[in-house]
Amino acid sequence: MKKYIFILAALLVCVAPRAQAFAAFACEPEWGSLLHELAGDAISIDVGTSALQDVHVIEAKPSLIAKVRRADLVVCTGADLEVGWLPQLIRQAGNPKVSSGPGYFLASDQITTLEKPSKLDRSEGDIHPQGNPHFQLDPYRMLVIAKALAARLGELDPAHAAQYQQRLADFTTRWQAAIKTWEAKAAPLKGRKVVVHHLSWVYLEQWLGLEQIGALEPKPGVPPTSAHLASLVDLTKNSHTLAILRAAYQDPKPGDWLSEQTGVPAVTLPFTVGGDERSKDLFGLFDSTIDKLLAVAK
Partner 1 sequence: MNWQGLELSILGPACLAGLIVLSTHVPLGQQVLARGIIFIDLAIAQVAALGVIVAQYFGMDEQGYGVEIAAAVAALAGGALLTYTDRKMPEHQEPLIGTLFVLAATGSLLLLANNPHGSEHLKDLLVGQILWVSVHQLVPVAILSGALLAVMWWQRARLGGPLFYAVFALAITASVQLVGVYLVFASLIVPALATTGATGVRRMAAAYAVGIGGYVLGLVLSALLDLPSGAMIVWTLAGCGIVGRVALALGGGRAASSPAPASS
Q: In the complex, which residues of this chain contact partner 1 (CB under 8 A)?
A: 57, 59-63, 65-67, 69-70, 84-85, 88-89, 91-92, 94, 122-123, 125-126, 219-223, 225
Residue 237 burial (CB < 10 Å; 0-12/13-18/19+)? Answer: middle
- Count the Cβ atoms, other than its own, within 10 Å of residue 87: 11
CB 114 within 8 A of CB 130: no
Question: Smaller CB distance to partner 1: residue 158 or 221?
Answer: 221
CB 106 within 8 A of CB 83: no
**How far apart are CB 11 and partner 1 at their closest, in Å?**
13
**How far apart are CB 204 and partner 1 at their closest, in Å?**
24
Question: Smaller CB distance to partner 1: residue 66 or 230?
Answer: 66
**How far apart are CB 113 and partner 1 at their closest, in Å?**
19
**How far apart are CB 60 and partner 1 at their closest, in Å?**
4
**How far apart are CB 66 and partner 1 at their closest, in Å?**
4
**How far apart are CB 121 and partner 1 at their closest, in Å?**
11
- What is the 8-class DSSP label of residue 214? E
Question: Smaller CB distance to partner 1: residue 118 or 123?
Answer: 123
Dihedral over Cα of 287, 293, 295, 298: its sign: negative
Question: Smaller CB distance to partner 1: residue 92 or 212?
Answer: 92
Longest dimension (CA), the chain: 82
Q: Which residues of 181-210 are buried (b: 16+ CB within 10 A; e: fewer)?
A: ebeeebeebeebbbbbbbbbbbbbbebbeb
Question: Smaller CB distance to partner 1: residue 65 or 114?
Answer: 65
- Alpha carbon of 74 to those of 44, 52, 93: distances in Å? 12, 21, 12
CB 29 within 8 A of CB 272: yes
Question: Smaller CB distance to partner 1: residue 84 or 209?
Answer: 84
